[in-house]
Amino acid sequence: MSSQVVVEAPGTHRVEPHTPREPGPGEALVAVHAVGICGSDREVYQGNRPEGYVRYPLTPGHEWSGTVRAVGAGVPGSLAGRKVVGEGFRNCQVCDRCHAGETTLCTDGYEETGFTQPGAMAATLTLPARLLHVLRDDADLTAAALLEPAACIAAAALKGGVRPGERVAVVGTGTLGMFAVQFLRAVSPAELLVVGTRNDREELSRRFGATDFRTRDQELPDDVDVVVETAGSASAARTAASLLRRGGRLVLTGIPAPGAEGLDPTDLVVRQLEVHTVFGAPPDAWAHAVRVFGAGLLDPLPLVTHELPLTEFPRAIELVGAGDPKVGKVLLHP
């Protein structure tokens, strides 16, 4: 029997039988292959996700991959049988930000798969077909389940506008940091520095293309062209800014605790730093991530350390929050 996870309220969940919802007009029904767990899923379960960014009861799961089983009216029939991933933000498509392609800034309010809309911790997921991105027929669906966080970093890479031959750096060595290394390596930088807090990430960083690895307590450069920050702390943001040359470009993707003291505005102005931020991934970033993945330039599998059945949802949540350096990406299989 197929099943689904339902978080009734913070700290309370059940695994129950799942009944697929047939796709309506403009929708597609996807058989879920794998779904990833991230810190925001832990927030949903613990009840500390910001108000307005979750709606209970809820089936979580915003990082996923699968195969289209059926489509509704108005959706090309050729989509059936294709391997896909999908955007999470349920944007309105008619406001000025959506028309500008900035769908994560939709002015109609926040709606997202796995947070306010049913997610992929179930045997199937029914969603608007316009959110799907088709993969190659030979795509590894286990690896593809990580394309949602990869798309967020693709957005950072695009905003950073790295050109071949520039000196670049990544601050943070988690899943997002390792994706950042791969995206930046693909544009042939002259140097690619990774800055982290743990020496045990050096081998993987170099495997993905880093030319140098240092911890924050070591001597760091101050003449880097572009820095992508992925660690999610105020101190990481300050470290990232300190690496830049005058006029350098900084892209922040991490979200520190509310009220954290971060960058010095005087320093930003005097050094004329160009600062960008990323929250989620718009369609162009998703398309970029899928294209880079399809070209073999993005390898998510080394980041996966645990694959569990859907019934082990509680254990998966514990693993993600344990702080064990041996725990990387945790996937659930319906």
Percent of the chain with pLDDT over 70: 99
CA distance 211 to 224: 13
Confidence (pLDDT) at 1: 64
CA distance 31 to 84: 10
- What is the biggest distance separating any 2 CA atoms in the chain, rounded to whole angstroms? 62
Q: Is the pLDDT of residue 107 over 90?
A: yes
Task: Look at residue 249 and give its three-state secondary structure.
Answer: strand
Query: What letter represents residue 171's amino acid?
Result: V
Least confident of 34-38, 124-128, 204-208, 317-321: 317-321
User: Whole-number mean pLDDT of the chain?
Assistant: 95
**Please, which residues bridge with residue 329 across strands?**
304
Contact 299, 20 (CB under 8 A): no
Confidence (pLDDT) at 258: 72
CA distance 128 to 250: 34
Contact 252, 234 (CB under 8 A): no
> What ranges in 5-91 are assigned the alpha helix state H?
39-46
Specify whether the backbone of 115 is left (phi greater than 0), alpha (psi in -120 to 50) or beta.
Answer: alpha
Confidence (pLDDT) at 233: 83
Peptide bond into 10 cis (omega under 30): no
Contact 141, 66 (CB under 8 A): yes
Confidence (pLDDT) at 274: 97
- pLDDT tens for 278-315 read 999 999 999 999 999 999 999 999 999 999 999 999 99
- pLDDT tens for 57-103 read 999 999 999 999 999 999 999 999 999 999 999 999 999 999 999 99
Confidence of residue 257 (pLDDT cuts 50, 70, 90): confident
CA dihedral sign of residues 236, 242, 175, 217: negative
- pLDDT tens for 195-223 read 998 899 999 999 999 999 999 989 999 99
CA distances to 80, 147, 151, 317, 324 from 293, in Å: 21, 8, 10, 27, 28
CA distance 158 to 201: 25
Could you tell me the pTM of the whole model? 0.94
